[in-house]
Amino acid sequence: MEMATIYHSSLTPLFHSKFLRSFLTTIQYRTSLPFPCLNVSRPPPRKSISTNRSFSDDPTSTTNAATVDPSIALKKKETDISADLRGTSIFLVGMNNSIKSSLGKLLADLLRYYYFDSDSLVSEAAGGESAAISLKESDEKGFREFETEVLKQLSSMGRLVVCAGDGAVQDSTNLALLRHGISIWINVPLDLVAKEIIENKSQLLSSQIAISGSYSEVFSQLTVLYKDTKIGYATADASISIQKVAYKLGYEDVDAVSTEDITMEVLKEIERLIKVKKMMEAAARPF
């Protein structure tokens, strides 16, 4: 029997039941594991996908001024905000790529949270990435319902860092579910996403990007997808632009921005949001 037949609309309720059981089993298993180690684990360095990196040889340059161990600075910032964060989940939105996933894993490790990728959960519950893609192609509505079910379950929990797929910002119900936590848009340059898709032959589950196309074709498709999802991304509580982080730190190339650099910016944004919330709560108290 072909996969397209399995996902016939008349069988959707049955598959939905199997999907939900599989999904909940995955969630229960992962959250039964001990919290990540308190030590900051560093994901493997991002493979360079830029060919025009140029840095100053001046030892006083900001790009060479690594006088503080990033892991120590991150742990200090995490200590500053953990008590006030109170286990609130973090949802990372934006184009799926290795930068976003590495950030999510490091952030979860720091906060002693559980890490989940919503697209990966959909794929696992559907029986693999190929099955999930077939489902999306044959039953778009059913696929979106599964995305919503994943977010509904995750948003009902605490102490999670979730890398959310594009479907999370393309539906008003999903956007409302993100309000159960803190949502942060990780804005990665499209050229980096396009190069990664071509080099790794990776497909964005929530989109129709042709991984076999040329760079210009993939970039063009990503541009269209970005226009469709940008409004949803912009509803996040905060945004982190990789290009702006590079400029702020004095880097001449965005490829020089490390996972630790981005994680620190995320922690600072979370700290800012916590302060704003406190100010609003104080202003609402009666005299």
Asked whether the beta carbons of 133 and 4 are under 8 A apart, the reply is no
The class (CATH top level) of 72-261 is alpha beta
Name the residue type at position 127.
Answer: G
Look up tokens 């020089």; give the residue.
Answer: 256
The three state secondary structure string of 37-66 is CCCCCCCCCCCCCCCCCCCCCCCCCHHHCC
**pLDDT of res. 55:** 38
Asked whether the beta carbons of 207 and 115 are under 8 A apart, the reply is no
Please give the Cα distance from 265 to 261 (Å, whole number).
7
**pLDDT of res. 202:** 66
**pLDDT of res. 124:** 81
What pTM did the predictor assign? Answer: 0.78
Please give the Cα distance from 196 to 47 (Å, whole number).
9
Give, for 81, the enclosing helix (H) or strand (E): helix 70-85
**pLDDT of res. 2:** 33
Cβ atoms within 10 A of the Cβ of 108, count?
22
Cβ atoms within 10 A of the Cβ of 148, count?
16
The three state secondary structure string of 150-178 is HHHHHHCCCCEEEECCHHHHCCHHHHHHH
The residue ranges of DSSP E strands in 102-156, in sequence order, are 114-117
Q: Regarding beta strands 160-163 and 90-93, do their DSSP bridges make them parallel or antiparallel, or are they unpaired?
A: parallel
Domain boundaries along the sequence of the chain: 72-261
How many CA atoms within 13 Å lie on the side-chain side of 65? 7
Each of the 287 residues of the chain gets a pLDDT tens digit; together they read 333 323 333 334 434 555 555 555 666 556 555 554 433 344 444 444 343 443 344 444 444 444 568 889 999 999 999 999 999 999 999 988 999 999 999 999 999 999 999 888 888 877 777 777 777 777 778 778 888 888 999 999 999 999 998 888 888 999 999 999 999 999 999 999 999 888 877 656 656 666 667 888 889 989 998 998 999 999 999 999 999 999 999 999 999 999 999 999 999 999 999 999 888 888 887 76
Asked whether the beta carbons of 220 and 226 are under 8 A apart, the reply is no
Asked whether the beta carbons of 215 and 26 are under 8 A apart, the reply is no
Please give the Cα distance from 94 to 115 (Å, whole number).
16
In the sheet with 114-117, reading across from the earlier edge strand, the strands are 114-117, 160-163, 90-93, 182-187, 238-241
